[in-house]
Structure 1
Amino acid sequence: MAVRGAKDLFGKELRLHQHIVATARRVLEAAGALEFITPVFEETQVFEKGVGISTDIVRKEMFTFQDRGGRSLTLRPEGTAAMVRAYLEHGMKVWPQPVRLWMAGPMFRAERPQKGRYRQFHQVSYEALGSESPILDAEAIVLLYEILKELSLRRLSLKLSSVGDPKDRARYNAYLREVLSPYQEELSPDSQERLELNPMRILDSKSEKDQALLRELKVKPMLDFLGEAAREHLKEVERHLERLSVPYELDPTLVRGLDYYVRTAFEVHHAEIGAQSALGGGGRYDGLSELLGGPRVPGVGFAFGVERVALALEAEGLGVAEEKGPDVYLIPLTEEAVSEAFYLAEALRPRIRAEYALSPKKPGKGVEEALKRNAAFVGFLGEDELKTGEVTLKRLATGEQVRLPQREALGFLLSALA
Structure 2
Amino acid sequence: MAIDRPKGTKDHLPDGSPKLSLDVQASAFAHVQETARRVLERAGAQFMATPLFEEAELVKRGVGGSTDIVRKEMFTVYYFGDHGGFILRPEGTAGMVRAYLQNGLKQLPAPLKLWTHGPMFRAENVQKGRLRQFHQVDYEVLGSTDALVDAEAIALMVDVVRALGLSGVRVKLGSIGDPADRDNYNEYLRGLFTPHLEHLSDDSKDRLTRNPMRILDSKSAEDQDLIRELAVRPMLDFLGAEASAHFAEVQAYLGAWGVEYDLDPSIVRGLDYYRRTAWELHHEGVGAKSALGGGGRYDGLSAQLGGPEVPGIGWAFGIERLLLALEAEGVSLPGTPGPLLYLAAMDAENVGLAAQIARSARAVARVEFAYKAQKPGNAFKDAERRRARYAAVIGTDEALRRVLNLKNLVSGEQREVALDDLNTVLTELENN
TM above 0.5, one fold? yes
Cα distance per residue 1:141-193 (max 9 Å; x no partner): 11112212222221111111111222222222222222222323323333233
1:8-19 aligned at under 5 Å gives the runs: 8-12=11-15, 13-19=25-31
Residue in 2 aligned with 1:255?
A: 268
Task: Give the length in aligned residue pairs.
Answer: 418
| Secondary structure at the counterpart of residue 66 of structure 1 | coil
The answer for the alignment partner of 2:305 in structure 1 is 292
Q: Which residue of 1 aligns with 2:322?
A: 309
Q: Deviations over 1:19-76 (max 9, x none)?
A: 2122211222122222111111111111111221111111111112335464321111
Q: Report the equivalent of 1:100.
A: 113
Q: Does residue 1:265 correspond to 2:278, yes or no? A: yes
Instruction: Please provide the CA RMSD for this pair.
Output: 1.9
2:375 corresponds to: 362
2:384 to 342, 348, 371: 371
What is the TM-score of this pair, normalised by structure 1?
0.94
| Matching of residue 217 in structure 1 with residue 201 in structure 2 | no
- Code of the aligned partner of 2:123: A
- Matched residues, percent identical? 51
Rounded to whole Å, the distance in 2 between the matches of 1:191 and 1:61 is 17
| Counterpart for residue 6 of structure 1 | 9
Distance 1:99 1:387 in 2: 60
Equivalent in the alignment of 1:207: 220
2:43 paired residue among 23, 31, 34: 31
Instruction: Judge conservation of contact 1:51–1:260 (CA < 8 Å) in 2.
Output: no
Residue 372 of structure 1, CA deviation = 0.8
Q: What is the TM-score normalised by the length of structure 2?
A: 0.91
User: Where do 5+ consecutive residues of structure 1 fail to align?
Assistant: none
Paired residue for 2:180? 167
Shift of 1:283: 0.9
CA 1:119–1:137 in 2, change beyond 3 Å: closer, same or farther?
same
Report the Cα distance in structure 1 between the residues aligned to 2:387 and 2:270, rounded to whole angstroms: 47
Tell me, in whole angstroms, the C-alpha distance in 1 between the residues paired with 2:307 and 2:429: 60
Corresponding residue number in structure 2 for 1:49: 61
- Could you tell me how far apart the structure 2 residues matched to 1:134 and 1:414 are? 47
- After superposition, the C-alpha distances for 1:218-265 in whole angstroms (9 at most, x for unaligned) are 111111222222222212212222222221111111112555312111
Cα deviation 1:274-322 (Å, max 9, x = unaligned): 3211111111111111111111111111111111111122222222134
Following superposition of structure 1 onto structure 2, how do residues 216-235 of structure 1 map, counting pairs within 5 Å?
A: 216-235=229-248
CA apart distance, 1:373: 0.9
Specify the alignment match of 2:21 in structure 1. Answer: none
Relative distance call for 1:287 and 1:277 in structure 2 (3 A) is: same
Which shifted more, 370-379 or 228-237? 228-237
What corresponds to 1:244 in structure 2? 257
Equivalent residues of 2:128, 2:286 under 8 A apart = no
- Residue 340 (structure 1) aligns with: 353
Does 339-348 or 7-16 show the bigger shift? 7-16
Alignment-mate amino acid for residue 253 of structure 1: S
How far apart, CA to CA, are the structure 2 residues paired with 1:293 and 1:98? 20
The Cα shift of 1:335 comes to 1.1
Change (3 A) 1:217 1:101: same
Stretches of structure 2 that go unaligned for 5 or more consecutive residues are 16-24
Task: Please list every run of at least 4 consecutive aligned residues from structure 1 whose deviation after the TM superposition is greater than 6 angstroms.
Answer: none
Is the contact between residue 52 and residue 260 of structure 1 (CA under 8 Å) also seen in structure 2? no
Give the Cα separation in 2 of the matches to 1:218 and 1:293.
38
- SS in structure 1 opposite 2:204? helix
From the superposition, tell whether residues 150 and 399 of structure 1 become closer, same or farther in structure 2 (CA, over 3 Å).
closer
Which residue of structure 2 lines up, in the alignment, with residue 283 of structure 1? 296
